[in-house]
Amino acid sequence: MTIILNSCNQPKKEDSSSKPVEFKFLLEQFADLKIMRYQVPGFESLDLKQKELIYYLSQAAISGRDIIFDQNGRYNLAIRRTMENIYSTYSGDKSSEEWKNFVVYLKRIWFSNGIYHHYGSEKFLPSFSQDYFMELVKNTDQSKFPVRPGQSVDQLIAELIPFIFDPNVLPKKVNLETGTDLVKTSAVNFYDGLSEEEVEGFYKGMAQPNPQEPLSFGINSKLVKENGKLMEKVWKIGGMYSSAIEKIVFWLNKATEVAENEQQKQWLEELISYYQTGDLKTWDKYNVLWVSDHISNVDVVNGFIENYEDPLGRKATWESVVDFKDIEATKRAETISANAQWFEDHSPVDPGFRKKQVKGVSAKVITVAQLGGDCYPSTPIGINLPNADWIRKEHGSKSVTMENITYAYDQAALGNGMLEEFAFTAEEQELAKKYGSLASNVHTDLHECLGHGSGQLLPGTSSEALKNYQSTLEEARADLFALYFIMDPKMVQLGVIPSEGSAKAEYNAYIRNGLITQLCRIERGKNIEEAHMRNRQLIAKWCFEHGKESNVIEFVKKENKTFIRINDYNKLRELFGKLLAEIQRIKSEGDFHAGQKLVEDYGVRVDQQLHKEVLERFKKLNVAPYGGFINPTFTLIENDGKVKEVKIDYPIDYATQMMEYSTNYSFLPTWN
């Protein structure tokens, strides 16, 4: 008897066993978003045990989806489930313009894991009226709304309406505006009823048991006040988010049964122990074991990892990426990591801020098999972990470049007109077409593999000293490391890039994006909120200002359109080096005020006249500035209780996958 266990039962899909067809990368666009698919080349060549491992890890990756919704705002699950009930059971007209607007609003909620823009952090509002919303509610199955115990549907809707329709009620997921209480004015669900001063005081009062190996206090908990006393609600089995974490652990336990080797099994078991206890020492032990595993082909990131969504840079969102090594492409990354000490020794930063001995740097190019949590649907293109500075210094770091993801982005963007519209010359366009994809991947390799792992803190400097500016400055530091070294002759000598043309293509793309094209992602009249975007403008604008005397970068006009032109690539590299040296000093010394000034002076404010022009030019292209992916699905094929094969399929419908996840992988209560 053959039993098929389908991890994502999608009615619309392209069967991998059907005759070859052209793979469709771009599926749909709405609002400022595009939905894409990615391929998983090489999956069929894995052995059965590795395929089964990927299946179990993928199940764990999508089992934590509710967690990121709740972390992004305490009303997100209630709003999502309310909208999904309407989407599924509304009995009225589904052909009207307002219904279409309703569907777009729900799709945006799915994409952003809540009601706040995934990148800009501002609350997005429905394009349908409150009266229409009430009509939808009235004609929807009343028994399936996510009411609290003893609450009526009318009371639920009255509670939710201000958070959906009022632009002044919790308007930002993460507020980084200087001079405000960052905790009180941020909607993220990491703190409850507290001020920034109270939070800072709570964690300052926690003594590190071993200052040489500081624990990541607060990374896996919500801080609340109960009966006048501050306390942490830890995210673990038996604690907050327990029902979802139990499912994650169930699948991780299954994964240990088919681990590739004892080392991999050991760190998987340690991760399970961490989820069971919430113990931060166990978290560090897991990270040390994980970062030391250089032999496994299949790998996973799973946990409360990045702190970008906490205005204080302490709490971490839940995420997961399941992957396996791209053997051929990894040769490039391994060449870079094998020369890590050379790059560190030749860094333009003060010698006192360099690592005397670079340890445990590993880099690989991966094929992503599944995305989850804060990495889904929108995903990074590279990762460098773990984040703890002491582990990176003593045990090294793992860096990955997600090449099948970058390939999917490139394929979906073919012919969209962006390059032709914003590149100044035909020569610039040709450099981009010839070298752009490789140059971007090499930048990511350098950024993740060496940039984040470079340098060191001075004794006594806290890794949290830069507070809400930490994320922007850390991304700038890693970008500058990549930009400085991609132009170094060593890169050609090592065979990583074919010629200096690759570096020029990357310089053109980076400065063009930092000064001009990323403005298409910002709402008219707004400044920059997101850490990566602040970082890019900071670098580009600082180099423009400090290179004015030599006219290193200039704004030029052609046919009443604004472009940038780099006049001296070598001097631009020198500027990258000078800024890298300063930002490394800021990090090494924990110079908060210098870091704050750098970000506020160069990374935040937008030239409104240029912004208006860019938005008008961009609108004519009909291109969505942000993109994300739907996941492939994996199916276990069993015979007499034994796994015989794991089948991969590529769904083609975004809404179907989202509703399937909400039906079969939604494990948290509405109110947590």
Q: Is residue 598 part of a domain?
A: yes
> 324 pairs with which residues across the strands?
298, 367
For residue 498, whether the previous peptide bond is cis, meaning omega lies within 30 degrees of 0, is: no
Q: Tokens 């930490």 appear where? A: 470
Q: At which of 116, 150, 165 does a domain end?
A: 165
Quote the pLDDT of residue 15. Answer: 36
Q: Is residue 3 part of a domain?
A: no
Q: Is residue 305 part of a domain?
A: no
Cα separation of 324 and 404, whole Å? Answer: 11
Please name which of 602, 666, 535 lies closest in space to residue 241, comparing C-alpha atoms.
Answer: 666
- Structural domain including 105 reads 73-165
Quote the pLDDT of residue 464. Answer: 85
526 has a pLDDT exceeding 70: yes
515 has a pLDDT exceeding 70: yes
Q: At which of 627, 651, 666 does a domain end?
A: 627
Q: Collapsing DSSP states into helix, strand and coil, what is residue 667?
A: coil
Helix or strand (DSSP H, E) at 372: strand 361-373
Q: Is residue 454 part of a domain?
A: yes
19 has a pLDDT exceeding 60: no
Cα separation of 451 and 485, whole Å? Answer: 10
Quote the pLDDT of residue 439. Answer: 95
Asked if 523 and 124 count as a contact pair (C-beta separation under 8 A), the reply is no
Please name which of 118, 122, 108 lies closest in space to residue 524, comparing C-alpha atoms.
Answer: 122
What backbone torsions phi and psi does residue 434 show, to the nearest 5 degrees?
Answer: -80, -40
Mean pLDDT on 203-230: 95
Cα separation of 252 and 57, whole Å? Answer: 6
What backbone torsions phi and psi does residue 12 show, to the nearest 5 degrees?
Answer: -110, 115
Q: Is residue 82 part of a domain?
A: yes
Provide the phi-psi class of 278: left if phi over 0, else alpha when psi is between -120 and 50, else beta.
left
Q: How does the average pLDDT of the chain come out, rounded?
A: 94
- What pLDDT digit, counting tens, does each position of 150-175 carry? 999 999 999 999 999 999 999 999 99
Q: Is residue 254 part of a domain?
A: no
SS3 content of the chain, % helix, strand, coil (to 5): 50, 15, 35
Domains identified in the chain, total number: 2
The answer to which of 50-64, 133-147, 445-459 has the lowest mean pLDDT is 445-459
14 has a pLDDT exceeding 60: no
> 647 pairs with which residues across the strands?
635
Quote the pLDDT of residue 347. Answer: 98
Cα separation of 505 and 431, whole Å? Answer: 5
Q: Is residue 4 part of a domain?
A: no
- What pLDDT digit, counting tens, does each position of 325-340 carry? 999 989 998 999 999 9
DSSP string, 59-85: HHHHHTHHHHHHHT-TTHHHHHHHHHH
Please name which of 658, 657, 629 lies closest in space to residue 39, comparing C-alpha atoms.
Answer: 629
DSSP string, 21-72: -----EEEEETTEEEEE---TTGGGS-HHHHHHHHHHHHHHHHTHHHHHHHT
Highest mean pLDDT among 185-199, 390-404, 523-537 belongs to: 185-199
Neighbours of 456 (CB within 10 A): 18
Cα separation of 584 and 591, whole Å? Answer: 10
Q: Is residue 638 part of a domain?
A: no
Confidence of residue 20 (pLDDT cuts 50, 70, 90): very low
Asked if 595 and 473 count as a contact pair (C-beta separation under 8 A), the reply is yes
